[in-house]
Chains A and B, each alone.
Chain A
Amino acid sequence: MNRSRFDFVVGLFVAIGLLAMVFMALKVGNLASFDSGSGYVLEARFDNIGGLKVRAPVKSAGVVVGRVDSVGLDKETFEAIVRLRITSDYRFSKDTIASILTSGLLGEQYVGLESGGDPVYLAQGDRVGKTQSAMILEKLISQFLFSKAAETPAKAP
């Protein structure tokens, strides 16, 4: 085999390898829609975020409109500060409600945005005023048990 033939076959090999890497980046991972630099950031404060993770989806009416950028804790009020990066195509009114929801029974948690009727839109850095915390299963169960216990008066021994 002469040299140019080596070059050709090795070039083909490298091309296939690079193509596989591009496949992994674009089709398997999601480089195309993973542009963390664009869009605008909203801030929302929750009493409890449950199991919300960074990069969890932000959905409105079931459509993904952004991702969770960062999660932090306010040192004074002990509220969770969640920064949401919203795609710049979508705008939400001032009285939007942000709530932490779960997809399916045991699925991942995401932030749901429900736009209100206010004509003024939220802009970069604004805070979503109304929020609804995550449902914590243990708290629900204990509330249910306590209310049950309150309903039925304890029998005297």
Chain B
Amino acid sequence: MIASIEALGHFITSRVERLGLAARFSGAILLVLWVSIRRTSLIIRELYFSGVRSLSIIAVSGLFVGMVLAVQGYEVLQRYGSAESLGVIVALSLVRELGPVVTALLFAGRASSAVTAEIALMRATEQLAAMDMMAVDPLSRVGAPRFLAAILSMPLLAAIFTSAGICGAWIIGVKLIGIDDGAFWSQMQANVDVRIDVLNGLLKSIVFGTAVGLISVFEGYFAVPTTEGIASATTRTVVISSLSVLLLDLVLTVMMFRGLS
């Protein structure tokens, strides 16, 4: 009985401690950001590994998501005789929600897990300690560029995902089903607002990039330096990133789109 209460207390205090550590780590990484933002070659390297290498999965997923949305949307819309609104439905759901969120989830699985594993292995093989010995700050040399790359590549990837999705919906809707091309685009343009929808969607993806980047670097940095430790750190990155993206999405959606008639 007492042991279980002790275990519960230990569980809670360790979680809170971990959260405090994460907050302190976020502060530290923000402090070294100005140092590492000038080392563009490092950031470009990380942009290649997390951004460019995710390009294919993002574009193909976007295309398929757009196609599925078009098929499902058409199925419902044609019951009410407003199949021409397909463009609006697809564009709004992609620009506002699916683009940023699905991109962030895919990014967490494709790129952040790799970042965590890489940093955790550096920790396990004491490369980080070696850097420290050579008076190279591992946080600004290893952590911050990967964090920055996540922030920079997320909005770009989300924009590519959304564009690919709209092209997919266009292929299904206009080319295969036969909705009028002009109505598809004009209805979309009339109902998608650049500031409210497009900019808020991009803002969302920047926030998701910040969260996912921070989590991946943090989990790698404080991974237990064993084989199991690296494995569980990678898993934790994907799980925590996905959950926090969905939670942040709820908060941001309420802030951005509630009360907008």
Contact = CB atoms under 8 A, between A and B. Distances in A.
B193 A9 contact: no
Interface string A24-54: 1101111101100000000000000000010
Interface string A127-140: 00000000000000
A10 B192 contact: no
Size bracket of the A interface: 20 to 34
A9 B52 contact: yes
A65 to B, nearest CB: 14
A30 B195 CA distance: 10
Nearest to A9: B52
A40 to B, nearest CB: 22
B261 A17 contact: no
Task: Report which residue of B155, B163, B188 has the largest number of chain A beta carbons within 10 angstroms of its beta carbon.
Answer: B163
Contact of B95 (A10, A13, A24, A53): A24
A20 interface: yes
Contact of B41 (A3, A24, A31): A3
A115 B189 CA distance: 27
A141 B232 CA distance: 66
Contacts of A6: 41, 44-45, 48
Contacts of A29: 95, 189, 192-194, 197-198
B29 interface: no
Nearest to B197: A29
Q: Give the interface centre of B159, B166, B198 by most chain A CB atoms within 10 Å.
A: B159
A14 interface: yes
A12 to B, nearest CB: 8
B112 interface: no
Given A24-B159, A28-B189, A30-B189, A13 B194 contact: no
A20 B160 contact: yes
A23 interface: yes
Interface SS of chain B: helix, strand, loop or mixed? helix
Contact of A28 (B41, B52, B95): B95
B147 to A, nearest CB: 17
Contacts of A53: 261
B190 to A, nearest CB: 7
A9 B160 contact: no
A18 interface: yes
A34 B160 contact: no
25 contacts: A6-B41, A6-B45, A6-B48, A9-B52, A10-B51, A12-B52, A13-B52, A16-B160, A17-B155, A18-B156, A20-B163, A21-B155, A21-B159, A21-B198, A21-B202, A24-B198, A27-B185, A27-B189, A28-B166, A28-B188, A28-B192, A28-B198, A29-B189, A29-B197, A33-B189
Interface of A: 3, 6-7, 9-10, 12-14, 16-18, 20-21, 23-25, 27-31, 33-34, 53, 55, 57
Given A27-B185, A29-B193, 18 more contacts: A7-B44, A10-B48, A10-B52, A13-B153, A16-B160, A20-B160, A20-B163, A21-B156, A24-B163, A28-B166, A28-B188, A29-B189, A29-B194, A29-B198, A30-B190, A31-B194, A34-B194, A55-B193
